A and B are shown apart, each in its own frame.
Chain A
Amino acid sequence: MVLITTALALVFFYAPNDADQGFVQKIFYVHVPLAIVALIGFIVAGVLGAMHLRTRDDTWDARSYVAIHMSVIFGVGVLATGAIWARASWGKWWVWDEPTLVSFLIIFLLYVTYYPLRYSIDDPQRRARYASVFAITAGAFVPINFIAVRMAESLVHPRVLNQTAGDMPGEMRLTFLVALAGMALLYVTLVKLELTSKNARRQLRRLRRMLEEEHSGGAAPPPIATVPAKPN
């Protein structure tokens, strides 16, 4: 999987298609796939949250959490690359009359509140449930928000994949699709990595606790947890 993401870099240098915007346009191959993957990640997180509510299995909650986490990180990338691209091609770092920018920002702000919500609930079961409810609500919010903001604003931001505006030459389209696939795989890989590390950390914590209990023996007072219970 990581190999394919390196293929992204390869295509990036191998098939450079300078459009009328020149070299700057290259950021397109990073920005757009990042955005698409982040948004899909948010929606997938909602589905995973629904799975958690249905099965009560904490692994679904952990998946939903990690999916949102990664999408937020990708979202930072989207905003940063978008700002750079906007500066280069429109002359401003941020433009308010762009529905796509504004709706992405709102969605990003919404998902950032996932963290304070999650960390301010102590009971793990309740935390998992509430986080899932949030994931579902916010996941449904993503398309609604896009509709509302788009209706309110003009249409200057290029829509890449719709029927008319997608007038990319073949090479560009190929590069774009490979970049998109690479970005999606990068996302999946990162999510898996994070899940594995979370699992490992949890197991380590459990082992340590068992070890501590053994050391303290039967009669000794209950050991004070040296490992602070981190929210997972």
Chain B
Amino acid sequence: MRAVVAIARKDLLVELRTKESVPAMALFAVTTFVIFHFGLDRDRLEGELAAGVLWVTLLFAAILGINRLFVAEREQGGFDGILMAPIERTSLLIAKSGALIVYLVALELIALPVFALFFIDEGFWAAVPRLALVTLLADVGLAVVGAMLASIAIHTRARDLLLPILLLPLTVPVVIAAAAATKPLLSIPLDTSGVGKWLAVLALYDLVFGLLAYAVFDFLMED
């Protein structure tokens, strides 16, 4: 557990000092919102369209961060360090997922207000508590799957090419559930029915892939 905290702390400190991932992700998200504004030619969004724009943007922005997740480990020998240290290898997975969750939350802290400013008329703040819950559950799923796939992709020749095509199909259930849960929250008369069901789906996804990543991660870390 101490190893987990140490690795995650290291990652967050590095990110805090270099500001490599999160600002780029946030900038990407904001720019994508602008692109959507012109692509859809809409000033205001609501309901399923709003949910779709939001989640597609967040997912693509997350990919940027996930792609960078293990770069330092690879370039500066961090993997060897982890392997030589007398710690469980899965602590790397947990730490990386944790760091990624922090990145994603930071991203959403910027992206969600901007999204509301650009596209949502009013009633957004009433939806925020539930939206935060949806986002958090989706973040956990994205982070676990992202950390696992990033550790696979980093060892291949086609690294940053391979990650999105592996990640996107695997995260389709997250997008389905998150967008479906967000849709009623962003509808003009705020509607909270059916949100619970999708939260359950997200939680199930997080649980299954969390356990799965935990089970297979050891095998990704040999040699």
Binding site for B on A (CB under 8 A): 53, 106-107, 109-110, 113, 116-117, 120-122, 125-126, 129-130, 132-134, 136-138, 140-141, 144-145, 147-149, 151-152
Whether B197 and A53, one on each chain, are in contact in the complex, defined by CB atoms closer than 8 angstroms, is no
Contact A148–B205 (Cβ < 8 Å): yes
Contact of B152 among A125, A134, A149 (CB under 8 A): A134
Q: Is B219 an interface residue (CB 8 A)?
A: yes
Q: Which among B156, B209, B212, B220 is the interface contact of A120 at CB below 8 angstroms?
A: B156
Residues of B contacting A132 in the complex (Cβ-Cβ under 8 angstroms): 219
B53 contacts chain A at the CB level, 8 A cutoff:
no
Q: List 16 additional contacts besides A122-B157, A140-B212; criterion CB under 8 Å.
A: A53-B216, A106-B169, A107-B169, A110-B169, A113-B166, A117-B162, A120-B162, A125-B223, A126-B223, A129-B220, A130-B155, A137-B148, A145-B173, A148-B201, A151-B197, A152-B180
Q: Shortest distance in angstroms between A122's beta carbon and chain B's nearest beta carbon? A: 7
Return chain A residues, CB-CB under 8 Å to B40.
Answer: none
Seen from chain B, the residues whose Cβ lies within 8 Å of a Cβ on chain A are 148, 152, 155-158, 161-162, 165-166, 168-170, 172-173, 176-177, 180, 197, 201, 204-205, 208-209, 212-213, 216, 219-220, 222-223
Per DSSP, are chain A's interface residues mostly helix, strand or loop, or mixed?
A: helix
Q: Is the CB of A121 within 8 A of B208?
A: no
A146 to chain B: closest residue by CB: B173
Most chain-B CB neighbours within 10 Å: which of A53, A144, A145, A147?
A144
Q: How distant is A36 from chain B, measured CB to nearest CB, in Å?
A: 21
Question: How long is the Cα–Cα vector from A107 to B173 in the complex, in angstroms?
Answer: 11
A130-B220 in contact given A110-B170, A121-B157, A137-B212 (Cβ < 8 Å): yes
The distance from the CB of A221 to the nearest CB of chain B, in whole angstroms, is 28
A134's nearest neighbour on chain B, judged by CB, is B152
6 sample A-B contacts, Cβ–Cβ < 8 Å, listed by A number: A109-B168, A110-B170, A129-B219, A133-B220, A138-B170, A140-B209
Task: Kindly state the separation between the CA atoms of A110 and B170 in the bound complex, as whole angstroms.
Answer: 7
User: In whole angstroms, what is the CA distance A15 to B191 when docked?
Assistant: 53
Residues of chain A within 8 A (CB-CB) of B205 are 144, 148
- With known contacts A136-B212, A141-B170, A151-B201, A129–B165 Cβ distance under 8 A: no
Residues of B with C-beta under 8 A to A134: 152, 166
Q: Cβ of B201: which chain A residues have Cβ within 8 Å of it?
A: 147-148, 151
Q: Which A residues lie within 8 Å of B204 (CB)?
A: 144, 147
- Chain A nearest CB, measured from B146 CB (Å): 13
User: Are A133 and B176 closer than 8 Å at their CB atoms?
Assistant: no
Please give the distance in Å from B223's CB to the nearest CB on chain A. Answer: 7
With a CB–CB cut-off of 8 A, which chain A residues contact B158?
116, 120
Chain B residues contacting A121 (CB-CB under 8 Å) are 155-157
Cα distance A27–B222 in the bound complex, in angstroms: 47
| Residue pair A133, B173 in contact (C-beta under 8 Å) | no
Contact A148 B166 (CB under 8 A): no
B173 touches which of A109, A120, A136, A144 (Cβ 8 Å): A144
Is B169's CB under 8 angstroms from A113's CB? yes
When the two chains form the complex, which single residue of B152, B170, B197 contacts A130, counting CB atoms closer than 8 Å? B152
- Name the contact of B176 in the complex, choosing from A107, A113, A116, A152 (C-beta under 8 A): A152
Tell me the smallest distance from the CB of B74 to a CB of chain A, in Å: 14
Whether B176 contacts A149 by the Cβ 8 Å rule is: yes
Taking CB atoms, residues of chain A closer than 8 Å to B155 are 121, 126, 130
Contacts of B170 in A (CB 8 A): 110, 137-138, 141
How far apart sit A133 and B93, CA to CA, in the bound complex (Å)? Answer: 15
With both chains docked as a complex, state the minimum distance between the C-beta of A104 and any C-beta of chain B, in angstroms: 12
Residue of A nearest to B174 (CB): A148
